[in-house]
A and B are shown apart, each in its own frame.
Chain A
Amino acid sequence: MTTKTTNAGAGVRELGKRFGEVRALGGVTLDFPAGQVTALMGENGAGKSTLLKILTGDHQPTEGSVLLDGAEVELHSPARARAVGIRIIPQEPEIIPHVSVAENVYAGALPRKAGRRLDRAELRRRIEADLDRLGFSRVLDPDLLGSELTPAQRQLVEILRALTGEAKVIAFDEPTSSLSEQEVEALFGLIRRLRDAGVAVIYVSHRMKEIFQLADRIAVLRDGTLAGVLDAAQASEGELVRLMVGRDLSAMFVRQNVATDQVVLDVQHLSTDDVTDISLTVRAGEVVGLAGLIGAGRSELALALAGDLPVRSGTVHLDGQELRSGHPGAVIRAGLGLAPEERKAQALFLQRTIRDNTSLVVLERLRRWRFVRRTAERELAQQYADRLRVRAPSIEHEVRKLSGGNQQKVVLARWLARKPKVLILDEPTRGIDVGAKAEIYQIIADLAKEGVALLVISSELPEVLGLADRVVVMQNGRITGELDRAEATEERILALAMADDLASGPDLAAAASDEGRTA
């Protein structure tokens, strides 16, 4: 199917993108033919967003090229990508809240009369014509304000925006995550019409059901490369799941089970605004992996445990003591630490030194009266910088000048210095190179040996499998299953992480592994 390369539509050739030392995309050759819906699937971090961002001109590829109608195009800016006819409907629509739907749709290109006066009559005519043409005149009142729109209507505004001017390629990034079933049907109707009108549609989603309903072809990305392209009519769910997983990084993991019987963290029926009825335990020396797709509520659970998001109901016990406080300070004093997902935004003080960043949560141990004992502080920071092998000229180096891996080590150093009983690590290896990853896995293993109870949130399945003694899987704010190290496989975790969306439910996992055995 990739033989007819010069057809209408878009395509990428040997496309690659590096962020510093991290390769997000490499050697991807793929076509998005006009008049077809090409679904794009893959785990978190497989490279879907990077590919989309290159197509929309947000990122520049470090290698390879983008084709449009058979000819190479240079997409040096989002405006350029738009001008040549490539549009994306973002997952979170960007709506200007206090202006009408009509002005939202044509923002930046409003019709005007002489003297730059807004031509309201023309605006009205255009929006009505467009709504009519796309069959949305009943669902969207052009006079509504942006802030009054439902999620589906917001999505429609983005779609209308994308369709102004001549659109050749339209990418939908998880468009249905906030839509009701009827709205999804309406959206699919529109997508089919676009397809029939000769637009090349790219559809990114985790939802198998939708993809089988809608797509003509399914492309699967894995670790930034193309794992395969399937004809949707012939593909099976099991086949797709197997294409999405299947890496072997086991050599990087040096783990033995050192879990004790002593439960340190005990969460019972915890509910917050984002998660519902969460019950889980972590024992001293145990590493529990928390798996799930993006948006499953894992980070929100971590923040709630750390005291930063309010708890609606349920209990948390730490070492037998009930944790009531909604203040991170009290939670830290009780012995729980969180290395959050976004280390730059949520954990680090980029303008400050390694020493400063390390000592922040142990200042109360380092101070005499209220004066920080500088020598003790330096020794402590140096000790943990050495232990975690932070690579920098000295501990007086500003953290913003470090690489991602070393920044993460500084975050870990902070918590190691605090010596917590429970440590929650949210995506501890995101965006860092392979060497530093292995070192962080070693640190985690060492911590477990010292008896720390560890809860590791990760979207990388091989990492979860390699690290965890036990895997808890979440979807839509709920726990959908728990797997022991012995029974956990990538297929099973993924099946649980998508449990609500899979037609066949968790049985798929068995089916997938059966097929794997026969193949």
Chain B
Amino acid sequence: MTTTTVSESTPTGSVPPAKRGGVVGLLASIGGQNLSLAGGLVFLLVLFGSLNGNYLSWDNIQVIAEAVTISGLLAVVQTVVIICGGLDISVGSQAGLASVVSAMAFTSTGSNALLGMAAAIGVGVVIGGLNGLIIVYGRVNATIATLAGLAAYKGVAQLISNGSAQGYVLNDSIFIFLSRGKIAGLPVMVWLLIVVALAVHVMLKYTDIGRNIYAIGGNDTAARLAGININKYLIAVYGLLGVVAAVAGILLTARTGSGQPVSGSEGLELQSITAAALGGCALRGGKGGIGGTLLAVALLGALENGLTVQGINSFWQNVAQGALLVVAVVIQQRRSGERAVGLPA
């Protein structure tokens, strides 16, 4: 009996994990998935940079960064929802509705930008919370619930805006600051993405809230038996998504100058989910991180901008994005090494 017990390997205490130094340690901490993403990003930058000299200019880099801000914000919160074992395909519609609400509230309050934004964020909280409530208490599959939301919230946005762009906000200094302002050489919008991403990263990585989110997505039964209030967490996570989607909607208003019910927000669900999946989120939950998602956002942005700079038909971008999403998930499934029988989970 004693021989069988020692044969396996040493107890945890006796071998302290060796500190790997320098480059190897750094690479190991980044992880294989992120390394291949970074490799892909460098490849794209070199490829498009060699095809067009202006591609790698500081101006164009800023254009790319600004272009990915909105989808990047949504990808960050989509990551949280996916880690929690859910999915939200109504993010684009939520952003569109928030955009319309921010502009209309701005106009009707006599050009009060802060009230406009507050109204948009309030709508975000309500819609996000509603998604969560439907999923948790209506026991509706997250994909179906938010597919319904995708249609319904877009419809609401179109109804209240009569289907057209609303208001004009670029006569207000706050909206101008959001759309054109710079802090330390970087556009304000990019700073917003950095702040939100950092905050979410800290939450996921360093707080007990983050631990519980990973636990719920990893094994909801075990999480429940460990005393985690799953319902509360799910509703809060969808609520958080609603708030950030509203922020994205406000940025959309600031960028285009008016409230946009549909244009600019359509397709954001695909972009955010693709970024999360490419970034290493397991679509069944429990795995993923903000770093990978941001790298994927950058990669998608670089690709989109590169194709535009090269004058390639923009319809190809949809093809490329769809293909990337499938490839990312196929690679994930291969890696997870489960038995390939029955329907995919």
- Contact across chains for A346 and B207 when beta carbons are under 8 A apart: no
Interface status of B138 (Cβ within 8 A of chain A): no
A window 305-326: CB within 8 A of B: 306, 308
For chain A, the bracket of interface size reads 35 or more
Given A370-B207, A386-B12, A332:B222 Cβ within 8 A? no
Contact of A396 among B17, B206, B211, B223 (CB under 8 A): B17
Quote the shortest CB–CB distance from A356 to chain B (angstroms).
7
Interface status of B314 (Cβ within 8 A of chain A): no
CA distance A329 to B208 in the complex (A): 15
Contacts of A397 in B (CB 8 A): 12
Chain B residue nearest in CB terms to A403:
B8
Interface status of B4 (Cβ within 8 A of chain A): yes
- Contact across chains for A352 and B4 when beta carbons are under 8 A apart: no
Given A329-B228, A338-B225, A371:B207 Cβ within 8 A? yes
Interface status of A349 (Cβ within 8 A of chain B): yes
Contacts of B229 in A (CB 8 A): 327, 329
Contacts of B31 in A (CB 8 A): none
A window 271-312: CB within 8 A of B: 306, 308
- Contact across chains for B17 and A328 when beta carbons are under 8 A apart: no
Contacts of B222 in A (CB 8 A): 345-349
- Contact across chains for A372 and B9 when beta carbons are under 8 A apart: no
Quote the shortest CB–CB distance from A30 to chain B (angstroms).
29
Contacts of A350 in B (CB 8 A): 218-219
Contact of B12 among A349, A394, A403 (CB under 8 A): A394
Quote the shortest CB–CB distance from B126 to chain A (angstroms).
25
A window 389-405: CB within 8 A of B: 389-397, 403
Quote the shortest CB–CB distance from A31 to chain B (angstroms).
33
Given A352-B218, A367-B207, A435:B5 Cβ within 8 A? yes
CA distance A16 to B207 in the complex (A): 49
* Segment of A103-111, A238-246, A358-366, A451-459 in the binding face: A358-366
Quote the shortest CB–CB distance from A323 to chain B (angstroms).
13
Quote the shortest CB–CB distance from B137 to chain A (angstroms).
16
- Contact across chains for A370 and B209 when beta carbons are under 8 A apart: yes
Contact of A361 among B226, B286, B287 (CB under 8 A): B226
Interface status of B215 (Cβ within 8 A of chain A): yes
Interface status of A58 (Cβ within 8 A of chain B): no
- Contact across chains for B208 and A364 when beta carbons are under 8 A apart: yes
Interface status of B171 (Cβ within 8 A of chain A): no
Interface status of B344 (Cβ within 8 A of chain A): no
- Contact across chains for A370 and B208 when beta carbons are under 8 A apart: yes
Interface centre among B9, B13, B215, B229, by most chain A C-beta atoms within 10 angstroms, is: B13
Given A328-B225, A371-B206, A392:B13 Cβ within 8 A? no
Contacts of B215 in A (CB 8 A): 349, 352, 360
List 13 contacting pairs A-B, 8 Å CB cutoff, sorted by A.
A346-B222, A347-B222, A348-B222, A350-B218, A354-B12, A356-B211, A382-B12, A386-B11, A386-B13, A391-B5, A392-B9, A394-B17, A397-B12
Instruction: List A residues at the B interface (Cβ < 8 Å).
Output: 21, 306, 308, 327-333, 338, 340, 345-352, 354, 356, 359-361, 363-364, 366-367, 370-372, 374, 382, 385-386, 389-397, 403, 406, 414, 433-436, 438-439
The 4 closest A-B pairs by CB, nearest first: A329-B227, A363-B208, A435-B5, A332-B227
